[in-house]
Amino acid sequence: MEKNSESGAAEDPASGSDNSTGTNTITVQVKFSGRTIPVSVPTEAAARDLKSLLQPLTNVLPRGQKLIFKGKVLEDGATLKSYQIINGSKIMLVASQGLHQGDGPITKPTSSSQSNTRRIISNSRDSQHLKTETRIEKSRAERWKITGVVALSESQLKEVPDEVWGCGSSIRVLDLGTNFIQQIPSKISDLKSINKLLLNGNDLSEDSICWEGLLSLKLLSILSLNNNRLTTLPSALCSLTSLSQLHLACNNLTSLPVEIGSLVQLEVVKATNNRISSLPLSIGNCKSLIEIDLSSNLLTELPETLGSLCNLKALYLKNNGVRTVPSTLFKGCQQLSILDLHGTEITNDVLRQIEGWEDFDERRRSKHQKQLDFRVGSSGVFDEGADDKTRGH
């Protein structure tokens, strides 16, 4: 066994010495970018030879490499032996910026272990991404449960996400407006505590809503079904006696349920732009009504029972075929201050003949102009859409 000329100690077979070719080699440990690269070189190799071996391992061109051993920079032409570099010696590699090939310096292992490491990193990232997505979804559902508010309007939804049903009785407000939802399933009954349900601007017909499930929402106060494809409303809807607001605009409704009188807490009904031709007499039982908007329908007459709505403040009837209002309207609705009759055939002369006109006229005049939704003419005559007789009537 040959002696190592540098150390005088017996060369261990595992040290890197190779006698099979008659050439002695040593293995040096090159420190680069936070990792250690073992490199086997002949004992008589020069620094430039080591740099050539390091190029494919680091992507750093030889002229961009600075090798440092015990504080000394190795000269290209000097041998490693001249610096007393032996088997196991540690050498530092510093790369000059820009002097590299391909994608830049390799800062991770380039062997099969590198490939494995990359796979591990990739798998770890994928796992982390999946966990992040799960966490996001989980946090969304948790946020809904904490706040009680599910805001999913304009979300391009074709169906209600399952997470919504999973929140159960935690939900108080569910906004699904302006989506493409075609069905409200029976699972809606799981939302026992909901008091505001916005389904406006979807693709719902009366057959695509599970009314039985909807009717189990006994705390429901606000229901919006605007801009859908409804042609009728089931009479059972009127069992939702907690309803205070019912929004039905821009559908194809021809009537309101006869049982609407059961909604004794109803304060607002908005059913503009439908095809409603008549109102049920029972509407007079909705004593809490404050606002009724039936603009742009096919009404030709109104039930006398409207005069029973003692809390009514605003009645919108524009763009209908009505020719008069109930004879009890002004006397019975003693809080009425807004009456929109634009686009109807009702004249001022007709209104002046109705009992209670003077009191109504005084109420509407006492309102500040900015609080009104009608015009006050310079002559002071009633001008909420009623035509004066002198204008052709």
Q: CA–CA separation, 315 vs 245, rounded Å?
A: 15
Domain boundaries, the chain: 13-107, 111-146, 147-391
Give the pLDDT confidence score for residue 221 in this predicted structure. Answer: 98
pLDDT digits (tens, 9 = 90+) for 197-226: 999 999 999 999 999 999 999 999 999 999
Q: What is the mean pLDDT of the chain?
A: 83
Q: CA–CA separation, 209 vs 37, rounded Å?
A: 69
Residue 276: what are its φ and ψ, rounded to 5°? -75, 125
| pLDDT for 59 beyond 80 | yes
| pLDDT for 286 beyond 90 | yes
Q: CA–CA separation, 171 vs 162, rounded Å?
A: 14
Give the pLDDT confidence score for residue 183 in this predicted structure. Answer: 96
| pLDDT for 387 beyond 70 | no
Q: CA–CA separation, 312 vs 293, rounded Å?
A: 11
Q: CA–CA separation, 88 vs 74, rounded Å?
A: 17
Task: Return the CATH number of the domain spanning residue range 147-391.
Answer: 3.80.10.10
Average pLDDT over residues 115-126: 48
13-107: CATH topology is: Ubiquitin-like (UB roll) (3.10.20)
pLDDT digits (tens, 9 = 90+) for 353-383: 999 999 999 998 887 555 544 454 444 445 5
Give the pLDDT confidence score for residue 357 in this predicted structure. Answer: 94
Q: Are 212 and 188 in contact (CB under 8 A)?
A: no
| pLDDT for 25 beyond 60 | yes
Tokens (6 digits) for 126: 């994928």
pLDDT digits (tens, 9 = 90+) for 252-276: 999 999 999 999 999 999 999 999 9
| pLDDT for 94 beyond 60 | yes
